[in-house]
Every structure is written in structure tokens, then in C-alpha cells.
Structure 1
């Protein structure tokens, strides 16, 4: 917990300073911006990398996948962390800015996890049921055989890659209900769900502390699965995804060295330590 608290404070400081001073790519320092889902993971990776390779400087900030992608488009970051693949429009804008295609690197596996309060008696949930909650068609826990109380719906902000991925793969690109409360990070969603008995939220598997995780099934006839490493590798968990880094500076030795190290067994051990799943 001390490590997570320290990293949260560092992340907040980086976020504040990055909004006060104009950011530019500076050689000799690798800048990484983007996904809040990935920020703790990449901060720990950077910390270990800088410990092993003295003199290397890796600056990591969050803000959401959209912030990282915008940073790459505006050429103010070396690496964009993304919890979803780039869109074709984003790829074109990056290519226009840099004169070349961005390099895509998968660094970890994840399953978008459904959080409810520990006192919630629901045992599992289907994609269709999730869609009905998040589009506002179902508003009460009574429809799930529980108390007749309003479902408090928590979501991420729209610059979040997790928000976009959930909208595409669970809501089938329908709009979120206007009752959904947007929160600035996965940690905030987990914190809110852990305190609100009648709430539901979603986010990365590594953040699921102090909440109940619901197994998810594709439809009402399917078996429900938890977002475990085995279930994600076998393709059984319905809301699985990769976590990405994008860069147009892979030919820079410092950028290449950091990304390549993340893919080594030592780097992938940290992926597991944080709570995500290694690529192999």
C-alpha cells in the first residue's frame, strides 16, 4: 500500500506539473503519457528500469488513453500508453505528425473487471445485463432478484481507453446512461464502489481490492468466468484485452531500450506483481 500511495502522489505531481509547463520531447529523457489503467504498472516498470540502469530518466504520467494519444499526435511524448487499440483516425493523425506509422507494442494482458460492493449478493452477470444497466434500460437491483434500490452506475471519463473499450465491446457503441457518474481513474471507481452498497463499476483487474468481482458470461446460456490469467489466455473471459504502448520514436536508443526491457522476463515479472498478466 505504501508503494501505491507513493506512486499515486508522484502521478498527481507529474499531472499537475505537466499542465503548468509546456511539454516537449527532450532527448536523454523518455516521456510516457496516457492510460490511467496502466499508470501504476508503467511507473513501477520505470522505477525498476532506472534502478537497474543508472542515469536513465523515464517520466510517466497518466490522464487517460486520450491524453497519451493526443501527446503523440502533438509530438510532446515519446510513448503513449493505451488500454485500447488506436483508431484508424488516430493512426492517420499520428502518421501525419511524424511522417511514419506508430509502432504498436503489447506489454500486458488484462480483463475489464466488473466491481460491485462486497455485500451485493449477485453471483454473476451477462454482457446483455451489463449493457442494460449501463444504457439505463435497467435501473433497479430488483431486476436481479435483490432489493428494490436504484443501481448507482460508475464509469470512467470519456478520454479513458477503458471507457471506449467498454462502450464498444459491452454497449455495442450505444450511449451510456446519463445517470452514470464519471470518475477520473480506475482507483476512484473502485473506491466509490467499495463505499456504495448499491453501486457497480468496471476497470482493470489489478485494481480490484476491497470490492466483489462478478464473473461475466457472454449470454444467459453461457458459463460465467472470472478474469483470471487462465481464463483470459484461453479466451473464455468475454471482456479481455491487451495493454499497449505506441511510439514513433522506437529508433531512439533510450525509447527502444525501455520498451524492449519491459518485454523481458524481468519486465514481465513486474506486470504480474502489479496484478496484470504477462504476455507469455
Structure 2
């Protein structure tokens, strides 16, 4: 074969090889430009805001699936997901499936949230003792509470209050669960005497179609039990009270990553924990973990105009 033909043969073979490698790289990249997070429904509004801004700045796609804490734990146990947003971290027993694989979790705290206790706007009281809620969870009659209404039987809100009350199983017939936080808000707006238990985020960022219902409910100020700090005052789940740890039912929100490798999941968590993401948290009414500091210039002399 003449030299120039051999040259052309190897040249085109080289071009085809480069094209093939680039094609494979593109396919691999495209396979990694979408990620799915399973999110505790009680904090879904803030995560939707985060994704909206993230998509406006980045080409990658982040999908959110709203579900209960119980469902998230089941998915993790089955190794059906590695990326979740929850109001707590996993116990050593719960994360054993990943530890056995040598996977070290990447845990990022992104906000301070709270569990809101809401009542009908007609209710006489605007405050409630956490001890009364605990007593009711334990089956004791409380004159001011007809019933407790949760968002879901597998919700993180039930888990938190059950642990507060040291209750393994809730048997009180006047404690029941609906299907969502919005269902609770609607029920409380139509029924006086009941206490709704929802994520604060659903009151700070109500859905447009829920505005009529939210105007007919009020968020109660909560007094902590005597054995805990700050038990002499009633505190609402305001941004400052959440940040300072004064609200008795405050909790931390985490993004848990069990992928075992750095990828888009970690990239999104870094965005949420960064300056832009924390400003979104601040705007939502929840308490950010990190606040951006602003420089203030102090002038010695002020010009009189």
C-alpha cells in the first residue's frame, strides 16, 4: 500500500477513534446531568424555591420527589435512593447498609425549621403549653385540645412529638393523620378546638390556592416543658426564634448524600448551603445556617447639605 494511502487510513482511523471517545464522554456526561432528591414533605416549599433558582443558573436538572419521612427511610433501607432531604440524620443502625459498602455520608445542614402548632382563628388562645400536647399524646384529657391533626401517619412531625412524649405508638382516637400539610391547614380552618401539626414552611410559604384557608388559622406561640431551657416564656416559630433556638419545636434540615462519590447531588447541596441558597432560606421565613455578612462603612464626617 502506498505511503500516502496508509497515512490517510491511519488519519481517518484516528479521527473516528476521537469521535467515538467524545461520543462516549458526552453520553456519560448526559447520564450525570440529572439527579433526584427525595424530600420530606414538610419542607417541600423551600426546596422547590432552591431548585427554581438553581435551574435558572445551571444547565443540570434536579428532580424533587415529595414524600414522608417514613417513606424516605424505607427507600434508603432498600438502597433505592442515596439523596434525601430530612429533618434529622440517620442513626447508625439505619445507615448500616451504606457503612457495609464503605460509603461515608456527606451531610449538609441547610436550614433551621420548626414544627408549627396551628389553631382555628376563632380559638380564644393564641398560646399553648407543650406539656399539654405531650399529655394529650399520652392519652390524658386536656380541656383546651379536642384533637391533634397530623399531615401523615408516617410524617416526621409525628416522629418528633412522639419522641417528646416518649410514646412508642399513638393510640388516642382523637389523634389522627390526613394526607398532607395543606389538608391539615384546611381542616383546622374549618374546625375550632383542634390543633394542627405541620411544618412551619407551609405557613411561611403557603400555596396560592391555600390563602383562604391560611387566613382562617393562626400559628400558636409555644411554651416549653419545665425541664427544658426557656420554659418561662411562649415563643412563636419566627425566624429569629428558630435561629436562636428559643422555639421549643425547632429542628435542623439536612441534605443527606450516600452516593459515595462527588457528583451533581453534592453540587446541588453546595449551592443550597452557599450564599445564594442561604439567601433563599432567609427569604422563605426559615432560619439559614449561614448568613452573608455585609460590610458597613462608617464615615467619620457627615456632610451637611
Same fold (TM over 0.5): yes
Structure of greater Rg: 2
Quick check: 1:257 aligned with 2:267?
yes
Q: Which residue of 1 aligns with 2:222?
A: 216
Aligned positions of 1:162-181 closer than 5 A: 162-169=157-164, 171-176=165-170, 177-181=172-176
Q: Is contact 1:34-1:69 (8 Å) kept?
A: no
Runs of 5+ consecutive residues of structure 2 not aligned to the other structure: 1-30, 204-213, 291-305
Q: Which residue of 1 aligns with 2:79?
A: 75
- Root-mean-square deviation (CA, aligned residues, Å) is 2.1
Task: Deviation per CA, 1:201-230: give whole Å up to 9, x if none.
Answer: 112212223321111112376211111122
- How far did 1:250 drift? 6.1
Q: Which residue of 2 aligns with 1:4?
A: none
User: Matched residues in 1 for 2:262 and 2:71: separation?
Assistant: 22
- How far did 1:153 drift? 2.2
Summarize the Cα distance change of 1:93–1:161 in structure 2 as closer, same or farther, 3 Å threshold. farther
- How far did 1:66 drift? 2.3
Q: Which residue of 2 aligns with 1:9?
A: none
Q: Secondary structure at the match of 2:245?
A: coil
Aligned positions of 1:133-148 closer than 5 A: 133-138=136-141, 143-144=143-144
Task: Deviation per CA, 1:6-45: give whole Å up to 9, x if none.
Answer: xxxxxxxxxxxxxxxxxxxx63311101300122221221
Task: Deviation per CA, 1:228-271: give whole Å up to 9, x if none.
Answer: 12222222211111011111126333112111000112111222
Q: Which residue of 2 aligns with 1:66?
A: 70
User: Matched residues in 2 for 1:234 and 1:274: separation?
Assistant: 17
Q: Is contact 2:40-2:85 (8 Å) kept?
A: yes
Q: Is contact 2:185-2:196 (8 Å) kept?
A: yes
- Structure 2 residue corresponding to 1:189, chosen from 163, 184, 188: 184
Runs of 5+ consecutive residues of structure 1 not aligned to the other structure: 1-25, 145-149
Task: Deviation per CA, 1:120-179: give whole Å up to 9, x if none.
Answer: 01132112101122333125xxx24xxxxx71320233422222112112x123532232
How many corresponding residue pairs? 244
Q: Secondary structure at the match of 2:64?
A: strand
Taking structure 2 as the reference length, the TM-score comes to 0.73
Q: Secondary structure at the match of 1:112?
A: strand
Quick check: 1:126 aligned with 2:129?
yes
Taking structure 1 as the reference length, the TM-score comes to 0.79
Q: Which residue of 2 aligns with 1:246?
A: 256
